[in-house]
């Protein structure tokens, strides 16, 4: 397909007349056309289309249809049907009333072009630029961040099902690419074992039978891999994605001992964050948060929260479900800085806060506000808590509340790779102290030991814990809870909880278009004067007696 016109066409007179008559107050689609037509000019997407061939549907029109599709939770078929039959969509796209639209497959082709051309975030950025030009995006004040779990578009399987389905997926892929070669290599028993979907109901029940099934599947997979990687195999067979995944899964789960294929011991397999959990979405991982477990992804949402402007999502990050929120804060700040949207105050929950993050944020000129994890040592509070020890950083000395000076100062790296300082007091000093049982109770008679973070991190953590005890800190932090409403809106109204597509690139594209649709809906509400919804209160809660 070639490109003749990148943007939206002029609105035909008859289309405008009928649309205004049928929808006198307008619709979201019509108002997006009126207010943000320049966002959908399609000029940025010209490079994704060839200059010769049959004329393509304008990319600006496809971008608008995709946004409306996500705004209304439509499938590709439903969105293509809306282009054919809905008057407000024809108005938005500048189509004649008799225009028959396009085939629904064009939408998936457009998304594939965006992913391949690394332009998935182009429309998201264009909407934010348009909002800033209109004075509706304020990024120098407060922002808040939270994450939401995203379920992968796959069937959750157990370990045995995963092994069987991985082998079955490789066989199906090879059957489509090299049917004659595979027919000559396949064992007749493979058709019974892997010809249909591998499900728990079809697998053996007894422990010995299940182990035998795993051993047989391991041997079958190893035999297939040997055939694929032999010199007689067709060119390109080993480069197939399903075959490469089979090789990876078999290396992780099986080994050859004395010429026999056997399953690896549970202690000899990679951690979960490195292991795929489905042959149909190799990017999905298992995650757990706040008592909930799932297989899929995490999406990090960052939005502005100023009273005199709409709350707009300014940053999206999609990771697999195994990534901890704490590891994302530096990446979020770096990306916001690169786009000129770094806030002065960043509100987050405890999952994003640690001492190093607080210090790094201060150095970057950001006030990171959130409750830091509590001290879990035996002396977490009181006279002999860690914060009660006086630290002389210049002389590398620590003095306890009873004026005894530590004997050792040892820079170390913790098991989590964090630079720390181990401080140790002499056992003789501690034994002679009248408060030894409260400060350093030890059957071995050792002296008190404490662990300090590096100076900047230590001071930042100490200040944060002190600030949390003030009402002013909580007055600022109360604004964080609004991000939970954004997550709820994304889940309930925009289908954020479940991935429409398979793989990280397409899932990230979904999140970008979902956030774009949410931003445009919020801009539309602000422009039309629609008030923000208040916090929902259940009927039972309304019966609570006044304090």
- What backbone phi and psi angles, to 5 degrees, belong to 420? -135, 175
CA dihedral 127, 79, 90, 62 (to 10 degrees): 50
Question: Is the predicted pLDDT of residue 104 greater than 90, yes or no?
Answer: yes
pLDDT, the chain, mean:
91
- Mean per-residue pLDDT, 260-268: 88
| Percent of the chain predicted with pLDDT > 70 | 96
Whole-number pLDDT of residue 2:
41
Find the mean pLDDT for residues 56-73: 94
When pLDDT is averaged across residues 504-528 and rounded to a whole number, the result is 96
Contact yes or no for 294/499 (Cβ under 8 A): no
Cβ 127 vs Cβ 36: under 8 Å: yes
pLDDT at residue 443 tops 70: no
Q: Count other C-beta atoms under 10 Å from residue 292's C-beta.
A: 8
pLDDT at residue 428 in the model: 83
Average pLDDT on 82-104 reads 95
- The predicted pLDDT at position 6 comes to 78
Report pTM. 0.90
Lowest mean pLDDT among 77-86, 403-412, 510-519, 531-540: 531-540
Query: So what's the pLDDT on residue 57?
Result: 87
Average pLDDT for 151-171:
94
Per-residue pLDDT, averaged over 131-146, amounts to 93
Rounded to the nearest 5 degrees, what angle is found at the Cα of 258, between the Cα atoms of 254 and 263?
20
Region of poorest pLDDT, from 51-65, 125-139, 151-165, 389-403: 51-65
CA distance 170 to 224: 9
pLDDT in tens, 191-212: 999 999 999 888 999 999 999 9
DSSP secondary structure string, 323-341?
S-GGGGHHHHHHHHHHTT-
- Report yes or no: 512 and 494 within 8 Å, Cβ to Cβ: no
Inter-CA distances, 526 with 96, 138, 303, 523, 529, Å: 30, 14, 15, 5, 5
At 345 the pLDDT is: 95
**Residue 274: helix, strand or coil by DSSP?**
helix
Q: What is the mean pLDDT of residues 357-363?
A: 91
Question: According to the model, what pLDDT value does residue 123 have?
Answer: 96
Query: Would you say residue 515 has pLDDT above 90?
Result: yes
Mean pLDDT score, 443-468: 84
Model pLDDT, residue 271: 87
Tokens of 61: 């029109």
The predicted structure's pLDDT at residue 538: 87
pLDDT band at 145 (very low <50, low <70, confident <90, very high): very high
């Amino acid at each position: 397909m070639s490109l003749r016109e990148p943007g939206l066409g002029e609105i035909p007179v008859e289309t405008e007349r009928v649309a205004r008559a049928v929808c006198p107050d307008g619709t979201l689609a019509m108002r997006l056309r009126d207010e943000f037509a320049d966002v959908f000019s399609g000029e940025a997407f010209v490079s994704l289309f060839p200059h010769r061939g049959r004329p393509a549907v304008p990319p600006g029109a496809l971008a608008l249809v995709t946004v409306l599709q996500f705004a209304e939770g439509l499938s590709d078929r439903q969105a293509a049907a809306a282009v054919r039959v809905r008057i407000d969509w024809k108005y938005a796209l500048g189509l004649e009333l008799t225009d028959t639209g396009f085939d629904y497959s064009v939408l998936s082709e457009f998304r594939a072009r965006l992913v391949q051309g690394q332009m998935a975030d182009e429309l998201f950025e264009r909407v934010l630029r348009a909002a800033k030009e209109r004075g509706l995006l304020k990024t120098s004040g407060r922002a808040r961040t939270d994450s939401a779990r995203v379920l992968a578009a796959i069937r959750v399987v157990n370990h045995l099902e995963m092994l069987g389905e991985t082998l079955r997926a490789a066989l199906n892929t090879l059957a489509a690419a090299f049917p004659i070669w595979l027919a000559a290599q396949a064992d007749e028993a493979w058709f019974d074992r892997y010809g249909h979907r591998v499900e728990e109901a079809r697998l053996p029940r007894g422990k010995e039978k299940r182990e035998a099934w795993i051993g047989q599947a391991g041997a079958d997979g190893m035999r297939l891999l040997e055939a694929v990687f032999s010199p007689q195999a067709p060119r390109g067979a080993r480069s197939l994605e399903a075959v490469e995944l089979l090789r990876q899964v078999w290396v992780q789960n099986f080994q050859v001992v004395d010429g026999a294929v056997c399953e690896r011991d549970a202690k000899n397999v990679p951690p979960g964050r490195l292991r795929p959990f489905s042959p149909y979405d190799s990017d999905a991982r298992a995650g757990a948060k706040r008592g909930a477990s799932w297989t899929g992804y995490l999406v990090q949402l960052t939005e502005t929260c100023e009273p005199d402007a709409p709350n707009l999502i300014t940053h999206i990050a999609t990771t697999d479900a195994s990534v901890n929120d704490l590891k994302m804060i530096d990446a979020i700040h770096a990306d916001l800085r690169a786009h000129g949207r770094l806030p002065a105050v960043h509100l987050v929950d405890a999952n994003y806060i640690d001492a190093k993050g607080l210090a790094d944020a201060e150095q970057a000129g950001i006030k990171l506000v959130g409750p830091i994890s509590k001290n879990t040592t035996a002396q977490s509070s009181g006279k002999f808590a860690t914060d009660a020890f006086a630290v002389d950083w210049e002389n590398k000395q620590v003095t306890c509340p009873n004026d005894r000076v530590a004997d050792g100062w040892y820079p170390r790296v913790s098991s989590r790779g964090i630079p720390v300082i181990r401080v140790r007091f002499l056992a003789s000093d501690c034994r002679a102290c009248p408060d030894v049982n409260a400060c350093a109770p030890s059957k071995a008679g050792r002296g008190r030991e404490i662990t300090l973070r590096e100076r900047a991190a230590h001071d930042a953590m100490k200040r944060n814990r002190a600030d949390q005890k003030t009402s002013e800190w909580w007055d600022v932090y109360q604004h964080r809870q609004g991000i939970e409403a954004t997550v709820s809106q994304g889940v309930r109204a925009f289908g954020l909880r479940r991935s429409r597509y398979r793989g990280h690139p397409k899932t990230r594209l979904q999140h970008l278009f979902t956030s774009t649709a949410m931003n445009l809906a919020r801009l539309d509400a602000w422009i039309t004067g629609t008030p923000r919804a208040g916090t929902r209160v259940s009927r039972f809660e309304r019966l609570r007696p006044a304090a």
